Chain A
């Protein structure tokens, strides 16, 4: 007989202090809207520094001029994978030394937050130590050169590739200056290596700029052609611009929505785009830490060996449908998005499945609704394990009280849809010897109603404009490195993703629509 445990999320259990809906921190009780129909993203912190500390007032001023200009003018440090891809492209080969790029903080589950990505002391040290070997590797592939003229040429070419734009005369002169100074005491390859060492850790390499023309006036600025190319390339492929994209930028083609669409559609067919979608799927589904999850070794002896395939299956599912089959959100749901074993196993305990965690995921990550944390003073004791009950029966029993139901009614009835899958995501028809009950209900959504099983739940979510809008937000936060912190920003995204939210547009086409829009091509100067 197995030990019975309670599959409860550690996020939230119940709220004795909570009578009725609860709102985000600091929000007035009167406007609390936790989980009201269609009110996805109830973590409203309008007025705070949602855009990385940028002034909300300035962003509002931009919105008057250009409603879809919601991203502040900024610099964005390359992410760990963007840096690795850029380096591989520059070197034309894998790096000869290991670069211990630190683990960047997660924000909303994504490691792309533009405000958090910084050159910390840790990163600067890491790069400073690794770069000499990398620079030597790069120089080894360059034409022989022992004169300042050819050195300037080689370094200028290398800097142009690294900086994703031509270096300025001042920038180049400083780089050549390092070469010249070093050449006085060292041989030519060593001197070149020193100069390349500057380029490989230069701020001009490590940050992509989203600033517009230096002499531009006004609050709303257009990104420069090379900035557009850089953003588009990293966003679609996770890599710096290729030659064709750079040429398109130089011709001015990226200034037009059609020009951007042409390039984006081309790049969506590359391997880089697949890697980007694999990463998005991993972070959206919260699968990154699955290697640290423990499962009961008796019940799931093959858990550890099965993990890598579960993750790659989930990635392949999302990426394949989005990029190969041009799937709509409905297609994704109907094809089995929510019954990916990796998702089901991630949101489960070591032995038992967890309807609470699975329901919590759907409510927060697919409907973008908030479920507040339990009160400080609440003392919750779960009822003891009972070997005669199913997981569902135990969950129902111990969250039956009115106070628990305030929040658990938002999670349990959704999570029950997945009772046909165990803690490793494998199908089952019985739980503890009893037939599983997969009936459930959606409440406080735009598709309220009952369902039986994950197929019917998926069919209902496929009808939900809130779920589609939430998906667009998830992708936008991942891709832009900025959470949508204000109602105005959310409205701007909903407008630009209108066709997707209404259900007629595919996921890939939604990303194209956003790349065509002012969301992508403009920035707001919040302070100068």
Chain B
């Protein structure tokens, strides 16, 4: 099968490079720690948590607006109501990025009567969060034009694992508009998600008929079984190609996806992927622990179970690239029992207001906004607490000559930014060792100093999150200088 080259062409196309640029797309270097002869892959977990982010308890206290680069220490993260205090033990494995915006996710709307266009980042956050793509409103929903980083990395570096890349839904409420989906393939089609931790577990470890990555199969019966499985895959591919031959270009893409999936299975059956640019030795994996529960109940349960399976899946190299929506539209009652309406009482009460005496609307006082900010901080602190236990567990999990945390990059972002209505100043916090690809242990502020000329200066010129996505891809060894929208080039300054 030649669908790997097909995938590669689509990958290039999605990056705006075209087939002729093929020689330029190479891995700069292995995305692996090479120590003592044991190479381990770098893993990615990219999360979006719910209800936006308020910077009041995220930014280290005493930091002036002119301080654009501050070294983080456990002491600096320790203060009343600090969001990041639960993570203080990981201060040196943390990069807090302020001043980032999902500018490419701003969607234009025409304001009738004024002749003006206004922009909203509200409905387009998920399609742009990890794609960096512009978002268009289609009858089927808001969609990007290209892939998310998990999918790209999976295509390039995920061969030989059980699943090249994966989207999990951790306790979010999915609904209308269809805002939650974070993972997209090369043509921008939304990818399915796993919401049940037990299903996540089976997906990672329940593969009875499929050998784990690179595990050599030696005995005769296993060889016979493999030969028979290969003949099944060949018959499936043959059918897929026959059907594809009857389809127009748009529909053909569906069978491209299918054929690529079959090619992966074939490669795994062959024990190794000859097209995998980076090959890792198999991991001897102890019997993983089955989740205690099958379905998710509370947000806490969903979080615990998913993180448990995730840690084991990373450790056993069953998958390397995971995106997760996390608690979107959840948290009322459970996390903040004193708050009855996170949206109205917290997310929308972060700023003082003089009210509207003409309409009997009382002012919103500083005391009120202070309380809202405190509650928002508590919610974010809850998320930080969960991440701290995840990181602790990863730091106790051996991986090659180091720990799993050494070889993992976590991106913790949120649905919305400081302004509750969209993608401006969205928190992006990098966590983990990330194989030392980034200079961690710092708070960086890319505060805007001017308006954005492309938006009539109505919107401040924040650092586009596309550059972070480029830097992440580069950290994994991909030779790219642009990702998603071609409006922005290059990686994020000052982080490597």
Question: Which of A200-208, A249-257, A505-513 is found at the contact surface with chain B?
Answer: A200-208
Which of B118, B171, B177, B265 has most chain A Cβ within 10 Å?
A: B118
Shortest distance from the beta carbon of B266 to any chain A beta carbon, whole Å: 10
Which residues of A lie under 8 Å from residue B260 when comparing CB positions? 121
Assuming A349-B344, A397-B360, is B352 touching A120 (CB within 8 A)? Answer: no
User: Is B343 in contact with A49, judged by CB distance below 8 angstroms?
Assistant: no
Which residues of A lie under 8 Å from residue B111 when comparing CB positions? 15, 17-20, 22, 29
Shortest distance from the beta carbon of B483 to any chain A beta carbon, whole Å: 21
User: Is A108 in contact with B141, judged by CB distance below 8 angstroms?
Assistant: yes
Chain A 18-36 residues near chain B, CB threshold 8 A: 18-29, 32, 34
Which residues of B lie under 8 Å from residue A401 when comparing CB positions? 356, 359
A398–B360 alpha-carbon span in the complex (Å): 9
A29–B340 alpha-carbon span in the complex (Å): 39
- Asked whether A491 is an interface residue with its Cβ less than 8 Å from the other chain, the reply is no
CB < 8 Å neighbour of A105 from B191, B194, B364, B423: B191
- Asked whether A485 is an interface residue with its Cβ less than 8 Å from the other chain, the reply is yes
Contact with A along B167-197 (1 / 0, CB 8 A): 0010111111110010001010111111110
User: Is A5 in contact with B120, judged by CB distance below 8 angstroms?
Assistant: no
Assuming A374-B421, A375-B119, is B343 touching A8 (CB within 8 A)? Answer: yes
User: Is B261 in contact with A124, judged by CB distance below 8 angstroms?
Assistant: yes
Which residues of A lie under 8 Å from residue B261 when comparing CB positions? 119-121, 123-125
- Asked whether A305 is an interface residue with its Cβ less than 8 Å from the other chain, the reply is no
Chain B 103-139 residues near chain A, CB threshold 8 A: 106-123, 136-139
CB < 8 Å neighbour of B106 from A8, A104, A171, A376: A376
User: Is B189 in contact with A103, judged by CB distance below 8 angstroms?
Assistant: no
A525–B206 alpha-carbon span in the complex (Å): 41
Chain B 84-120 residues near chain A, CB threshold 8 A: 106-120
A77–B352 alpha-carbon span in the complex (Å): 52
User: Is A19 in contact with B113, judged by CB distance below 8 angstroms?
Assistant: yes
- Asked whether B247 is an interface residue with its Cβ less than 8 Å from the other chain, the reply is yes
Assuming A105-B192, A171-B239, is B140 touching A115 (CB within 8 A)? Answer: yes
Which residues of B lie under 8 Å from residue A50 when comparing CB positions? 138-140
User: Is A380 in contact with B420, judged by CB distance below 8 angstroms?
Assistant: yes
- Asked whether B49 is an interface residue with its Cβ less than 8 Å from the other chain, the reply is no
User: Is B189 in contact with A102, judged by CB distance below 8 angstroms?
Assistant: no
A528–B353 alpha-carbon span in the complex (Å): 60
A116–B183 alpha-carbon span in the complex (Å): 12
Contact with B along A103-132 (1 / 0, CB 8 A): 111111100010110111111111011001
User: Is A115 in contact with B203, judged by CB distance below 8 angstroms?
Assistant: no
Chain B 307-342 residues near chain A, CB threshold 8 A: 329-330, 332-334, 338, 340-341
User: Is B114 in contact with A20, judged by CB distance below 8 angstroms?
Assistant: yes
Which residues of A lie under 8 Å from residue B122 when comparing CB positions? 373-374, 376
CB < 8 Å neighbour of B112 from A20, A181, A197, A375: A20
A292–B248 alpha-carbon span in the complex (Å): 41
Q: Which residue of B lies closest to A360 (CB)?
A: B176
User: Is B459 in contact with A116, judged by CB distance below 8 angstroms?
Assistant: no
- Asked whether A427 is an interface residue with its Cβ less than 8 Å from the other chain, the reply is no
- Asked whether B447 is an interface residue with its Cβ less than 8 Å from the other chain, the reply is no
- Asked whether A518 is an interface residue with its Cβ less than 8 Å from the other chain, the reply is no
Contact with B along A29-62 (1 / 0, CB 8 A): 1001010000000010100111011110000000
User: Is B239 in contact with A102, judged by CB distance below 8 angstroms?
Assistant: no
Chain B 338-362 residues near chain A, CB threshold 8 A: 338, 340-341, 343-345, 347-353, 355-356, 359-362
User: Is B231 in contact with A194, judged by CB distance below 8 angstroms?
Assistant: yes
Chain A 190-225 residues near chain B, CB threshold 8 A: 194, 197-198, 201-204, 207, 209, 211, 214
Chain B 346-402 residues near chain A, CB threshold 8 A: 347-353, 355-356, 359-362, 364-365, 368-369
A177–B228 alpha-carbon span in the complex (Å): 11
Shortest distance from the beta carbon of B170 to any chain A beta carbon, whole Å: 11
CB < 8 Å neighbour of B190 from A105, A121, A211, A349: A105
- Asked whether A141 is an interface residue with its Cβ less than 8 Å from the other chain, the reply is no
User: Is A21 in contact with B210, judged by CB distance below 8 angstroms?
Assistant: no
Assuming A6-B341, A73-B248, is B359 touching A400 (CB within 8 A)? Answer: yes
Shortest distance from the beta carbon of B373 to any chain A beta carbon, whole Å: 12
Shortest distance from the beta carbon of A19 to any chain B beta carbon, whole Å: 5
Which residues of B lie under 8 Å from residue A398 when comparing CB positions? 361
User: Is B209 in contact with A23, judged by CB distance below 8 angstroms?
Assistant: no
CB < 8 Å neighbour of B120 from A202, A372, A382: A372
Q: How many of chain B's residues touch chain A, expressed as a range?
A: 35 or more
Which residues of A lie under 8 Å from residue B177 when comparing CB positions? 11
- Asked whether B4 is an interface residue with its Cβ less than 8 Å from the other chain, the reply is no
Chain A 235-267 residues near chain B, CB threshold 8 A: none
Q: Which residue of A lies closest to B355 (CB)?
A: A383
User: Is B178 in contact with A106, judged by CB distance below 8 angstroms?
Assistant: yes
Which residues of B lie under 8 Å from residue A214 when comparing CB positions? 246
CB < 8 Å neighbour of A380 from B165, B194, B340, B421: B421
Assuming A105-B178, A376-B419, A376-B421, is B231 touching A29 (CB within 8 A)? Answer: no
CB < 8 Å neighbour of A48 from B138, B169, B240, B341: B138
User: Is B265 in contact with A10, judged by CB distance below 8 angstroms?
Assistant: no
Question: Which of A87-95, A294-302, A337-345, A463-471 is found at the contact surface with chain B?
Answer: A294-302
Contact with B along A161-204 (1 / 0, CB 8 A): 00000000011001101100110011000000010011001111
User: Is A376 in contact with B459, judged by CB distance below 8 angstroms?
Assistant: yes
Shortest distance from the beta carbon of B4 to any chain A beta carbon, whole Å: 13
Assuming A22-B111, A28-B110, A297-B333, is B178 touching A107 (CB within 8 A)? Answer: yes
CB < 8 Å neighbour of B235 from A22, A74, A198, A380: A198
- Asked whether B264 is an interface residue with its Cβ less than 8 Å from the other chain, the reply is yes
Q: Which residue of A lies closest to B117 (CB)?
A: A29
User: Is A181 in contact with B203, judged by CB distance below 8 angstroms?
Assistant: no
Which residues of A lie under 8 Å from residue B202 when comparing CB positions? 98, 100
Which residues of B lie under 8 Å from residue A54 when comparing CB positions? 250
- Asked whether B17 is an interface residue with its Cβ less than 8 Å from the other chain, the reply is no
User: Is B362 in contact with A379, judged by CB distance below 8 angstroms?
Assistant: no
Q: Which residue of A lies closest to B240 (CB)?
A: A203
- Asked whether A497 is an interface residue with its Cβ less than 8 Å from the other chain, the reply is no
A55–B251 alpha-carbon span in the complex (Å): 12
- Asked whether B69 is an interface residue with its Cβ less than 8 Å from the other chain, the reply is no
User: Is A75 in contact with B251, judged by CB distance below 8 angstroms?
Assistant: yes
Assuming A29-B110, A383-B362, is B333 touching A203 (CB within 8 A)? Answer: no
Contact with B along A64-100 (1 / 0, CB 8 A): 0000000011110100000000000000000000101
User: Is B224 in contact with A125, judged by CB distance below 8 angstroms?
Assistant: no
User: Is B139 in contact with A108, judged by CB distance below 8 angstroms?
Assistant: yes
Which of B120, B181, B341 has most chain A Cβ within 10 Å?
A: B341
Q: Which residue of A lies closest to B365 (CB)?
A: A384
Which of B154, B207, B340 has most chain A Cβ within 10 Å?
A: B340
Please name the 6 residue pairs, one residue from A and one from B, whose CB atoms are nearest each other, closest first.
A527-B248, A6-B344, A20-B113, A483-B139, A102-B192, A124-B261
Seed contacts A376-B424, A384-B365; 19 additional CB < 8 Å A-B pairs:
A6-B348, A15-B118, A29-B113, A29-B116, A43-B137, A45-B137, A52-B250, A53-B253, A116-B140, A120-B191, A178-B235, A294-B333, A349-B332, A372-B109, A377-B119, A382-B348, A398-B361, A483-B139, A527-B249
In the complex, 7 of the A-B residue pairs with CB atoms within 8 angstroms, ordered by the A residue number, are A25-B108, A29-B117, A174-B235, A178-B235, A202-B236, A377-B458, A381-B348
